[in-house]
Amino acid sequence: MPMDELLHHRFMREAIELSMSNVREGKGGPFAAIIVRENAMLARGTNLVTSTNDPTAHAEIVAIREACRTLGSFQLDGCDMYTTCEPCPMCLGAIYWARPKAVYYANTRDDAAGIGFDDRFIYDEFPRPHELRKIPMKQILRDEAFVAFREWMNKSDKVSY
C-alpha cells in the first residue's frame, strides 16, 4: 500500500476510534473529525451537541475551531480533514469557509440517516422560497443594515476572507 494511503488510513482510524470513545462517554453523537497538516495532527473534534447544549458543536466544527486557534488563522491552508461521516450542510459550509486542502470521510449521509441523523430536510429547504420554508425567513430593515455593508466595502484595512 502506498505511504499516502497508509497515512490516510491511520488518520481515519484515529477519527473512528475517537467517535467510538465519544459514543461510550455519552458526550454526543457517533461523529469525530481530525485535522492534519504535514502529516501531524493539529486538532480533533467530536460531536458535543447534547453535552454542551450547542447545536453547532458538530465534530467538524469543533475540530475546525481548534485547528484555527492552533494555527492563528481563519483558514486551514494545507490541511486535510478526516471525518467519520460525510459532512452535514452546516459542516460542509464551515469546511468551505475554512478551505482545507481535502476532506476524507468514512460513513455516508445515507448511513447517518439510517441511524436517525437525516439532514435531507435541510437540503430540501434550500431551493424553497423563504416564506415556504419550515422556518419562514422574512427580510426586514435592509436599508438600515446595508449601512454596515457600505462601510465594509469602503474600509481600506479590511481583511478579506
Active centre residues (catalytic): 60
- H or E element, residue 4: helix 3-25
Which grid coordinates are listed for 122?
435541510
Contact predicate 27/53, CB 8 Å: no
Q: Scan for cell 435541510, then name that residue.
A: 122
The DSSP annotation for 54-112 comes to -TT--HHHHHHHHHHHHHTSSS-TTEEEEEEEPPPHHHHHHHHHH--SEEEEEE-HHHH
Handedness of CA 95, 121, 54, 116 (dihedral sign): negative
